[in-house]
Structure 1
Amino acid sequence: MLKKLYKIVIVPYTLFLLYLMFLGMGRFQYDDNLITVEPVFSTIKFIQGAKSWQDIVTIVVGNIIMFVPFGFLGWIFPKLSDLKALLFTFIPAITIVEGLQYFTRMGIFEVDDILLNTVGVYLGWLCCRCIEKRFIY
């Protein structure tokens, strides 16, 4: 039941997420191509300069939570049940998306986004394993 629901929801969810990454949340096209390659430090700077805790939750925690569903991709593609295979597939894919944000100037290529999104996928993979152990097997 969960796997069937996931298979139905993941494609529209992915499209919605891509919308948010390129057009949603007040996005606009930057005048220049922007890139942030300081891993972790740029997130720390953002947290220190944030106007409110809501900004921190929206950006930092959102970058993790929004990608948790991709940790369940093994339910559709059995080879992606293996964490290594999942990460070796996800990291290049999210890097391409970040690159598209850079080249279209509809966002900033941020290494921290790649790291936070990957943490989300990993947490999703852990949740998937727990669900499978508890309910399926």
Structure 2
Amino acid sequence: MLKRFYQIIIFPYTLFLLYLMFLGMGRFQYEDNLVRLEPIFSTVWFIQNTILWSDIVKIVLGNVIMFIPFGFLGWIFTGLKEVKTLLYSFISAIVVVEAMQYFTRMGVFEVDDIILNTFGVYIGWNLKQYIERNFNH
């Protein structure tokens, strides 16, 4: 039942997430192509220069939590059941998305986003493993 629900919801969820990444949350087209390649520093800078904790939670935790569902992709694509294959595939895909943000100037290519998003997928994969071990009979 849970796997079937996931199979139905993941495609529209992916489209919704892409909408957020390119058009949602007050996005606008930057004048320049922006890239932040220093891991961790842009997130630390963001936290130090953001007044509202709600913004920090929304952006930093959101970059993790919103990607947890992709840890379950092995339920649809059997080739993505192993964590190494899933993470390599996801990193390849998210780098393409970040590059699209860069080239369209509808976002910033940020290494921290790649790291945080991938951590979310890894959490999701572990959650999937837990569900399969404890609730599949």
TM-score, reference length from structure 1: 0.98
Give structure 1 stretches of 5+ with no counterpart: none
Equivalent-residue separation in structure 2 for 1:109 and 1:12 (angstroms):
24
User: What's the counterpart of residue 11 of structure 1?
Assistant: 11
CA distance in 2: counterparts of 1:28 and 1:52, whole angstroms:
21
CA distance in 2, matches of 1:124, 1:34: 29
CA displacement at 1:103 relative to structure 2:
0.1
Aligned to 2:108: 108
Please state if 1:76 is matched with 2:76. yes
Instruction: State the 1:49 CA deviation.
Output: 1.2
Residue type of the alignment partner of 2:32? D
Q: Tell me how many residue pairs correspond in the alignment.
A: 137
Aligned to 2:55: 55
SS of 1:39's partner is coil
- Give the Å deviation of 1:48: 1.2
Comparing 49-58 with 111-120, greater Cα deviation is found at: 49-58
Matched, 1:124 2:130: no
1:85-117 Cα distance to aligned partner (Å, 9 max, x none): 001100010000000000000000000000000
Task: Give how far 1:133 is off.
Answer: 0.4
In 1: Cα distance, 2:31 partner to 2:75 partner: 41
- CA distance in 2 between partners of 1:78 and 1:87 (Å): 14
Q: Give the Cα–Cα distance (whole angstroms) in 2 for the partners of residues 16 and 108 of structure 1.
A: 19
Question: What residue in structure 2 maps to residue 135 of structure 1?
Answer: 135
Partner Cα separation in structure 1 for residue 133 and residue 78 of structure 2: 16
Q: For 1:82 and 1:46, locate their aligned partners in 2 and report how far apart those are by CA, in whole Å.
A: 34
Q: Percent same amino acid at aligned positions?
A: 66
Q: What secondary structure is seen at the aligned counterpart in 1 of 2:24?
A: coil
Residue in structure 1 matched with residue 97 of structure 2 by the alignment: 97
Point out 4+ residue stretches in structure 1 off by more than 6 angstroms: none
The Cα of 1:45 is off from its aligned counterpart by 1.1
SS at match of 1:25: coil
